[in-house]
Structure 1
Amino acid sequence: MDFTNVLPVDCISKIISLTSPKDACRSASVSSVFKTAEDSDNVWERFLPRDYEDMIAQSSLSQSFISSLNKKQIFFHLCDHPVLLNDGEMSLGIEKESGKKCCMLGAKGLTIVWGDTRAYWQWISLPDSRFNEVAKLNYVWWLDIKGRLNANNVLSPGTLYTAFFVYRLEGEHSMRERFVEMSVINSEGSLSGSHRRIILDPNSTNSMMRKRQRVGYKREDGWMEVEIADLFIDEHCDGGEGFTEFRLWETNGYIKDGLIVEGFEFRPKRL
């Protein structure tokens, strides 16, 4: 018996809503009944983060534009166009496969030593960045970049995340054959993943150094990223204070240049 001819569309929508966004999209190809059920607001309301309306309210999206979209369209808009919050210091979006929130704290939301000194750092606009400005390193001897995120309030509960440093290397930079230090620390003061040494330039040829350290790689969007650490957002967190601090530094004294910083990104871990 074809149960799609027996069950009402609302019941099928309820079943689909208990799966995942990825499986829901696949179900639409089963039949026209499934397609109608999959398009239901009841399905996509469940996949959207509980605070998606707050995300939209804090963004620059117009109410007239949002009111013209159904829940499925809102879901994919937030996947493809993360909203900018806190005067452009942070972006918040959704991962397509899981519906979990993704977050990036941009360069403007970081504490960069000498970042306000034009001789050492410049703030520039790039067409392929989600932020209005990114930080370009002219040169420093002392590289130290820190960030702080209320992870419990921003990220999805009950989710394992991976933190990434997102950057670009420009021209004859000084990062080849060298590493930088990185760490992520939670509010209790314990490391969320061990303190690591990272190679930002994937073209470094020192095989022993590459074997011991994590190496950055180029993404499809043209930026580079390197994995820092994993952190778990507790299922029972109340959205209150749960700060995560992250840091990148290199203070051994050689001149560092050619680095462009977009920010630190937190995405659900792919298992």
Structure 2
Amino acid sequence: MGCESLPEGCIATILSRTTPRDTCILSLVSRTFYSASQSDAVWASFLPSDYISIFSRSVSHSSFLASSPSNKSIYLALSHRPIIIDHATMSFHLERKSGKRCYMLAARALTIIWGDGNTPHYWKWTTLPDSRFPEVAQLVNVCWLEIHGVINTSPLTPNTHYAAYFVFKMIDPEGLRYPVRLSVDISFRQSTVKEVYLYPNLDGWHVDNRMRGLQLPNVRSDGWLEIEMREFFNSGLVDDEVHMSITGTEGSWKRGLVIEGIEVRPKEAN
């Protein structure tokens, strides 16, 4: 007896214990599998338990649930593109294949030394058409670069390997050819520090032997640059705080760095 001969409700139960990706693949097995794969009960198992609260925290999506969409439609809305929440200080989306949670702290959610808006000759707040947020922070002129962000692990998907990524771009940069330090602490118990280059291309530069082989940023699908800060495992058993920082003190005055935010997403989604 093949699986396709099972009652549709039984197949739906089986699919609900897989992943969104597997469910879509298995929907091709037969008409019964396809029908079961459209079940609200299947897609309910892939949705965050607090998805109603997440939509309520978004101005642009707050009325999305008013039309009583199917659970599959809700899942696709949460995985199609990030939704902006918490007064535009954070974005949220689901990794489409796995349904795991992804967050980005906007520049406004970060602590940027001399970037509080009262010293526009150091940092300025501006808008860019390719940013997901209404504001980004643009470095005007500082000699000491220091940025901090904090995210709690409780909203993250449990039993998941995550990584934190600094997301940024360069506009007429100067003074940024020196390495910066990326630091990530897990509730001040597990600390890692590494030096990286934020400049994406060092061709033609003289690089000290001590700095050869340092990590460079990658170009994202949205056109921004990102560099991995650290990978960590979220067991879901402990409510931790992940403290992330970027510090650059070497060299002369710096300008031209534009901060989108710090993204925390499942490592498996890379």
TM-score when scaled to structure 2? 0.91
Contact 1:66 1:74 in 2 (8 A): no
Distance 2:151 2:106 in 1: 11
What is the root-mean-square deviation of aligned Cα atoms in Å?
1.9
Q: Which among 119, 144, 158 is matched to residue 142 of structure 1? A: 144
Structure 2 counterpart of 1:213: 214
Structure 1 counterpart of 2:102: 102
| Code of the aligned partner of 2:73 | Q
Query: For each residue in 1:90-128, what CA deviation from the matched residue of structure 2 results, as whole angstroms up to 9, or x when unmatched?
Result: 111111111110010010001111112111111111122
Q: Cα offset for 1:172?
A: 4.3
Distance 2:99 2:16 in 1: 12
Contact 2:112 2:147 in 1 (8 A): yes
Query: For each residue in 1:61-113, what CA deviation from the matched residue of structure 2 results, as whole angstroms up to 9, or x when unmatched?
Result: 23354533211111111112322222111111111111110010010001111
Structure 2 counterpart of 1:158: 159
Structure 1 counterpart of 2:70: 70
Structure 2 counterpart of 1:84: 84
Structure 1 counterpart of 2:247: 249
Tell me the SS of whatever aligns to 2:250.
coil
Structure 2 counterpart of 1:174: 175
Q: Cα offset for 1:142?
A: 0.9
CA, structure 1 residues 89+53, in 2 after alignment: closer, same or farther (shift >3 Å)? same
| Code of the aligned partner of 2:37 | E
Query: For each residue in 1:203-258, what CA deviation from the matched residue of structure 2 results, as whole angstroms up to 9, or x when unmatched?
Result: 11349566432110111110010001012212323xxx521111001123511111
- 1:14 and 2:13 matched: yes
Contact 2:93 2:103 in 1 (8 A): yes
Contact 1:142 1:253 in 2 (8 A): no
Distance 1:207 1:158 in 2: 40
Distance 2:47 2:65 in 1: 18
CA, structure 1 residues 66+33, in 2 after alignment: closer, same or farther (shift >3 Å)? farther
Distance 1:18 1:207 in 2: 52
- 1:235 and 2:232 matched: no
Structure 1 counterpart of 2:114: 114
| Code of the aligned partner of 1:97 | K
1:119-138 to structure 2, matched below 5 A, reads 119-138=121-140
Structure 2 counterpart of 1:37: 36
Structure 2 counterpart of 1:196: 194
TM-score when scaled to structure 1? 0.90
Q: Which ranges of structure 1 fall in alignment gaps of 5 or more residues?
A: none
Contact 2:153 2:236 in 1 (8 A): no
Contact 2:55 2:64 in 1 (8 A): no
| Code of the aligned partner of 1:197 | E
Contact 2:173 2:257 in 1 (8 A): no
Tell me the SS of whatever aligns to 1:182.
strand
Contact 2:179 2:250 in 1 (8 A): no
67-76 or 195-204, which moves further after superposition? 67-76
Tell me the SS of whatever aligns to 2:255.
coil
Distance 2:97 2:64 in 1: 27
Contact 1:164 1:265 in 2 (8 A): yes
